[in-house]
Amino acid sequence: MIVLNGGSSSGKSSIARTLQEILPGIWLTFGVDTFIDALPAGGDSPRAGITFEQDGTITFSAEHRALERSWYTGLSAMARAGAHLILDEVLLSGRAGQERLRTAFSDMELIWVGVRCDPDVAASREAGRLDRVEGMARQQALSVHAGVVYDVEVEVDTTHNSTEGCARDIARQLWLEAFAC
């Protein structure tokens, strides 16, 4: 299982889609946007348990966190049954978010990839998207990486590199590691 972690508008979803096309086998991609879309009103209802603040800060209710654990339990079952998964995540709490995922997928190998993008570039991309709260991309660009340890050593930065090029670099690194043994 591959976990792509990066802020809003960093290019994770595009990288995930490209990885689906270039990695051997069939890979499914799921992530925070898939989960949010499944919530009441696509996450915009108070019943979704998400609060989007004016400055881009996002907070979650205890009920939302419990449902998120159920989501990860379901994805973990899919992976255990043999599905290849790419998770497109925004670890708002950095290392604590990584630990939540490690706990949910404790019996399987996770390959951690940090997707970086300059805060100004991410904010510019965000401005062109109607489904984003202004300020999220700038706030998340650096904070989602705080304390997170990554496995892929290549520079995955979409500031000046295409998402396709980043995906190819990730695939190349994974291939090299798979055959290094």
Q: What region, left, alpha or beta, does residue 145 occupy, with left being phi > 0 and alpha being psi -120 to 50 degrees?
A: alpha
Contact 94, 112 (CB under 8 A): no
Catalytic residue among 33, 88, 107, 118: 33
**DSSP string for residues in 138-179:** HHHHHHTTTT---S--S--BTTTS-HHHHHHHHHHHHHHHHT
Contact 101, 110 (CB under 8 A): yes
Q: For tokens 């090299």, name the residue.
A: 176
Residue 118 annotated in active site:
no
What gap in Å lies between CA 19 and CA 28, rounded to an integer? 10
Catalytic residue list: 33
